[in-house]
Structure 1
């Protein structure tokens, strides 16, 4: 039996439609023993996104960003998170969007990007699926200062460090963004395997 045959959506309520859409879904779910159980979950729909780790193969450096994140701030962090560039798709293809995001945030116009995987980052409550990419960059690709889109409240700085330094920053708790940690660990595994 397919999963879709085990789910009966009874009611969907919009709880908030401000920044993104928060819904409450009431549904029946058929358990493995055949019993139907009524459940209720909230889903936060912000659309899908893409993220990329930029790597300079000549220097071994990676290019990351730092920006303020209110949700991290209200959870006891200072709010300034170091991250891989990324953003929501906004009706564009993942590859098209990630190229635009890189240029907006870092000022680099990347030519080659490689999709490595897709992942749900917080599937217990958030609908977003992220498309993960690797991309090469070097100083000749710099076309602007980057910094993000001021009208969207972005004030983004770039950080260029060796891959090994970025990995040490994870261990020290300086990099706490999940997507960035996944990309850096992927790059480290790839480097170890000699690819």
Structure 2
């Protein structure tokens, strides 16, 4: 990960990715205002490397995770953030290869692009197994997340991955062995991983490892 510096919080203006708004409605006789965000659906790809018996994941800096790691009393709404006191490494997360649905392509085609861009493997649509589509961010976004599974080999590696730099991505590719995966899902706190990571790891252990034992 490239060094992070000159961190500061600023007021929200506009974004290509999220659009805050509110819905007003009546529920029975009660007037309700509910704050929402319109944002893109997403795809997640669980990648298993058959040669090394590992899951291929990505590690990257997530500003939201970093910001929430700062205690509320020291978390500015505006202004500079002390990255010496709160190192940016606090915002590093482990995730599955993933991407937003923002192109005029099928979900499978978007997944293929993300596997190549983020992790450096060249796969085909036919290499993907759809696992499930479900909702996330139920109270604020209600987006649909679709999970895929694919298997790769070392000879399918065409680049080091790392994402698309002009899209602001700075990604490290990391791999986890089966014992490491089991360690992750049995921890009481997984503060550098999301529910999507834990779901994917448990799905993999249940449907690919247990069935092959």
Q: What is the correspondence of 1:34-53 to structure 2 with a 5 Å cutoff?
A: 35-53=28-46
Q: What is the correspondence of 1:24-173 to structure 2 with a 5 Å cutoff?
A: 24-29=22-27, 35-76=28-69, 78-91=90-103, 92-111=105-124, 112-170=127-185, 171=187, 173=190
Q: TM-score, with normalisation over the residues of structure 2?
A: 0.76
* Partner residue of 2:21 out of 20, 23, 26: 23
Secondary structure of the corresponding residue to residue 75 of structure 1: helix
Alpha-carbon distance, 1:176 to partner:
1.6
Cα RMSD for the two superposed structures: 2.1
Task: Kindly indicate whether structure 1 or structure 2 has the higher relative contact order, using CA contacts under 8 Å at least 6 residues apart.
Answer: 2
| Correspondence for 1:181 | 198
Alpha-carbon distance, 1:169 to partner:
2.7
Q: Distance in 2 between matches of 1:36 and 1:144?
A: 59
Note the residue ranges of structure 2 that are not aligned, 5 or more in a row.
Answer: 1-11, 71-89
Deviations 1:26-71 (A, max 9, x none): 1123xxxxx3432211111111110011012343210000000000
Note the residue ranges of structure 1 that are not aligned, 5 or more in a row.
Answer: 1-14, 30-34
| Correspondence for 1:12 | none
Deviations 1:114-137 (A, max 9, x none): 111012221111132110011101
Q: Distance in 2 between matches of 1:17 and 1:23?
A: 12
Q: TM-score, with normalisation over the residues of structure 1?
A: 0.82
The structure in which a higher percent of residues are strand is: 1
